[in-house]
Structure 1
Amino acid sequence: MTTVSAATADQPDRVSTRVSIALLGVRSDAPVRRTGGAGPSDDGHFVVDGDGAAIPLNPASPYVVTSQGRLTLEGADLGFDVSPVARPRFYDLATAEGVSYDRIAKLHGRNVLATTVVQTCVRYDESERCRFCAIQSSLDAGTTIAVKTPAMLAEVAEAAVRLDGVTHMVMTTGTSNGWDRGAKHLARCVRAVKAAVPSLEIQVQCEPPADLRAITDLYAAGARSIGIHVESMDDEVRRRWMPGKSRVSLDEYREAWREAVRVFGWNQVSTYLIVGMGEDESELVDAAAELIDMGVYPFVVPFRPLKGTLATDVDHVPAPHRAVLNRITARVAALLQAAGMRGEDQRAGCAACGACSVLKTAGA
């Protein structure tokens, strides 16, 4: 007779609950939160059963985080330990020029330092802009600076590791006009941070560079994981949601992913797939299967309304239905499990953190 552990038996319910709070949010305060920017949402940062989680703060949500650190629905305890991430100590510091550290890099999830090294994008004109992105809104609000120098990032990273136990770092960038699409500045920043904090693992994120040698340059600088984010592998969806970025063909993405896997290794390359942009469910899962076969981790996240984006402010696109996200998460998690691919096995970055997705809860 086959026995099933309690943890395995109730996994579907736990995944369903994580899907629900990812979309509906929670009623709680969160000292560490993120508003605006490149996405994926306006979130508070929590630790849920020991893992980082980025969850929308919604005063109308039926889900409540109690003062005892439990997640409840209509007063019923749902079996999750939930606590807000404490405000990091490095936020209290500033550079000699008076730039506060939290305008240079942010704490994400439980132990990830994240920064956008160039907070502008050549595709930000309304006719070109990705409709889910608000990369320049935080710059317009004065909560960040346009360009983070390598020296600044090294200074902040050292403090974040020393004071707050940060274990890995994500560096992303707006796209530049150059052949490298921003990779050259990323490499300079990685090199400086690794010189200051050799133990800190770093993921870089950029569009496919026109010259794929830039991928080797990023690895040589010290990055050990890379995100090359396509968001959708449906060309019709890409043209509608990413009019500028969609001119970088899917074949260029495939070439970049293959080269990145060659350089960084199997399961050290990832890409976002966003649920809720109108893509067929089965086609999205098929796209995830193709990525997995290449050794690329498909980081499945829901579209969630983000202030400052065209999708939210102009198109009024809602988040996807919970049932849709639940089904897709379960199907992609099963593919990842069959391939032996786990996000937490990446050296650094979004998949390693897992806070913005439900895949980790689903066992991937």
Structure 2
Amino acid sequence: MPWTLAPRRHRVAAAIAAAALAACTSVPLPPERPAPVEDARPAHPPAPPDAGVERPRSRWIPADWGELPGWNEDRVAEVWPALRASCGRPARGWAEVCARAMLEPPADDGAAREWLARWLQPWRVESPDGQTEGLATGYFEPLVEAQRQPRGAFRVPLHGLPTPGAMPKPGWTRQQLDTLPAARAALRGREIAWVADPLDALLLQVQGSGRLALTEPDGSRRLVRLAFAGHNEQPYKSVGRWLVERGEMTLDTASWPAIRAWARRNPQRVQEMLWANPRVVFFREEPLPDPSVGPRGAQGVPLVPGRSIAVDAGSIPYGTPVWLDTTEPLSATPLRRLVVAQDTGSAIVGAVRADYFWGWGEEAEAQAGRMKQPLRLWVLWPRGLRPQ
């Protein structure tokens, strides 16, 4: 999530991925379509000759496979776990394709390309006024050291939802929750854990979820996940933009590493910066039995590093495969790959807009914090099904 913009999606209720996938297998398979496999290559029949489809925030234009830059270079078989997970909550008209995605897993990238071209049709996504270039940003799942009880440097609390009725509507601002006795009382006893750095707490709130390397009172350690539970109904204000407006950095240089560096240089102003964002996010603790499973996005399925994106749902429905044409952060290295729209966020607004999920760990944090790249994208939609 870019630090000059607004925060990550707010996670939906829990869903078990295996059960979601099993739902796909309950869809009866219709007779095989007549299109031969050899036609399912980039030189197969062209898109239907119409003027495209208008969606609430975008326009889709039928395209040919040859328009997708780098289509033959991506390891497209890697998208199958994300695609099959989304099939647990398929969009209208996707039942047949989802059933086949479950029962016909590709053996390699070539077979995956043939399968996709056989059953899906590319559409170029553009804005209602015809703009084809937009913005790609990145997000990740933070990993933060935490203590179950406040001790030593670990004095910054992470809270669960306040007791119902304990806060006004909208709720108290971040500054009020730090300073007003009545506001502080509303969160007393709702502490999940404590972290040492207030910027780590802000990072978890902006990303909307995270992992805690948690030390229990008896000294034992375990890894848990913090999932989004709600917020105080105050508007989000970017601390990155706050710094830009005060001349501390520019829009081009604003990033999470730059914000941390500024905080180290200006410890006496950190509280002022934090109070510039009135929104506070509340969490719930979840077990993390399998660290290889990502957090759930707005579609309700686990995100897959490098194969899941957040989108504006008014432009692209959840569960839709999307071809990205962008570059990696701070370089001209092409980032062209097939991903699945599985998430959203309050900053992810517009037709050609994607937030790329990098995963977790230090490299994911570095890449996500610096990603603000030009973007073009195409969606893949079931053949013969006109998008709604």
Q: Return the TM-score normalized by structure 1.
A: 0.24
More strand, by proportion: 2
* Structure with greater contact order relative to length (CA < 8 Å, sep ≥ 6): 2
More helix, by proportion: 1
Q: Return the TM-score normalized by structure 2.
A: 0.23
- Larger CA Rg, structure 1 vs 2: 2
